[in-house]
Amino acid sequence: MNKPEINRLDRKEFELLWEAAVEGDPLDRLIFVCAGHLGMRVSEIAHLKKDWIDFQNENIYVPREDGQFQSNGSFRSIPYTSLQSKISTELRRYFDYNDAVDVSRATIFRRVKNMAQRADLTGKVNPQALRSTCAFQLAEAGVNAQGLRQFMGWKELNTAQKYIEQVGVDAEKQIKRNKDKLW
């Protein structure tokens, strides 16, 4: 029995959506990097504040709660030092002029839908698909289940395992890639 496919973008779709985000405004680009590269939830993006971000150490701290925002147990630190440089660029670009995102979830969904239309993408392109794409990319890069769970803010380890299984990374590839770490 085949497992259901995770709704995510392939590399070409991801790149086309980024190009569409660039055609938009700083909020479009911020939404793209937060969901697609940092795996942030819609509610986290909608409530993202400048004081959640440590620009020097390149980390976003999603709090347990902050005013009207409650993380439902997904509070975490999201490091972005080793990720794409455009993440830092877009966070700075947006927060140089704003203290918070402060938009509705519906606004974020609408903006992603508009980006998809500009990119001529069909199918289910939404913020969750971007978040899933982030998780898939991390799993494809060899991040283990525990690391993936922590980065994405999942309560259950089996959620991370679904992405790793989807990638199909086998033990032999992991061993070859990490043989210098073996003792």
The one-letter code for the residue type at 96 is: D
CATH code, residues 11-181 = 1.10.443.10
Enter the pTM of the model: 0.86
What is the DSSP secondary-structure string of 128-149? HHHHHHHHHHHHHTT--HHHHH
Residue 128 confidence (pLDDT) above 90: yes
In three-state secondary structure terms, 76 is strand
What integer pLDDT is reported at residue 6 of this predicted model? 74
Q: What is the pLDDT of residues 61-97, one digit of tens each?
A: 998 877 766 666 678 899 998 778 899 999 999 999 9
Q: Is the pLDDT of residue 54 over 50?
A: yes
Instruction: Please give the sequence-ordered ranges of beta strands (E in DSSP) within 20-74, or none if there are none.
Output: 53-54, 59-62, 65-66, 69-70
Residue 153: left if φ>0, alpha if ψ -120 to 50, beta else—which one?
Answer: left
Q: How would residue 4 be classed by pLDDT, with cut points 50, 70 and 90?
A: low
